[in-house]
Structure 1
């Protein structure tokens, strides 16, 4: 996966976050995760050394507030943010693209899973009809039906697991799960269920 921040961008973005307001370390990490839609969740080992470097450069100061260390931008740091405003706009645009990309990936995964389920259920229905048309002992027909039932069950369970995993991963990364996306999933599943019912009755 392409890095969310190019070389040097994270340093500038940290300054930008502190230009908005003083923050403690965890707040900075959470803000980075939120603003990248969960595509980037930095570790303490990534953030704190950069904050220490910014402090050495005189761009950031830190104060201890109880158990928390709060970082604040200095006048020199604020001047750098102002001077590099154009670069920050480019970084913000890249972050917005990353959020859109992960949302598109989730929607694409849901669509592919639905197509796969439709294909599996349609194949099972066709095979069921073909089996019913061939003369065979009652016991053999029932055995084949049970076999196909297991196959259909497996397809439905596989679909459920895949979609649930994609949705949970998306939300866990901080991505937004829009109402219209869920409505589309519910409506599509309802349509598939009706198609299956018609196929079995036909």
Structure 2
């Protein structure tokens, strides 16, 4: 979601809604907007403060000093405007919710793709290890009397890895849904997840290559 989601007058309305929840200073308003939009929209101070000044001129908010911070608070007139424009505010809230939901769905898709790829690589490595073990066992059958033992161990390891991957995916999906509901899932989260999963995959494959 990008700043144009706020049509003319909509950002000031959303600021009133945030101040209706509790008094806030400018940075807290910027952070609250960023959180609500899952990090996809973070307004600058140059966007927020002029609107707060305008709201103060119109008598819709008041400000006070708390140490070195200026705290803004909605007035009775501000609440009256907020109530009068409630349908418009509800429409904005719905758009925010839809945006965060789409972002969470994208994260889940990335996780699922990464997990499928990792499982495929592990399965392929297990098959290769099994073939190698069979070849080795066949060449040493006269002295070892065993066939497929290493392959069996490899299959068990893949099964255990698959259980770990499934448990991780389920836990992460639950965490993502919880955080997305709070508006805390951002594109940076997806980038970090992809990078970490790629590193895990590389590390696992490196241990297999050393065998």
Deviations 1:64-115 (A, max 9, x none): 2221111122343222211100011111112222222222222111110001
The correspondence for 2:185, drawn from 155, 159, 175, is 175
Unaligned runs of 5+ residues in structure 2 are: 137-164, 187-211
Label 1:79 to 1:107 Cα distance change in 2 as closer, same or farther (>3 A): same
> Is the Cα contact below 8 Å between 1:4 and 1:95 reproduced in 2?
no
Residue in structure 1 matched with residue 6 of structure 2 by the alignment: 6
1:40 is matched with which residue? 41
Contact 1:4-1:98 within 8 A present in 2 as well: no
1:61–1:73 CA contact under 8 A, matched in 2: yes
- What pairs up with 1:33-182 in 2 under 5 angstroms? 33-129=34-130, 174-175=184-185
Distance 1:4 1:119, change over 3 A: farther
What 5-or-longer segments of structure 1 have no aligned partner? 136-158, 177-202
TM-score normalised over the length of structure 2: 0.56
Q: How many corresponding residue pairs?
A: 149
Change (3 A) 1:124 1:17: same
Q: How much does 1:128 deviate? A: 4.2
Structure 1 length as normaliser, TM-score? 0.58
Q: State how far apart, in whole Å, the 2-side matches of 1:82 and 1:61 are.
A: 18
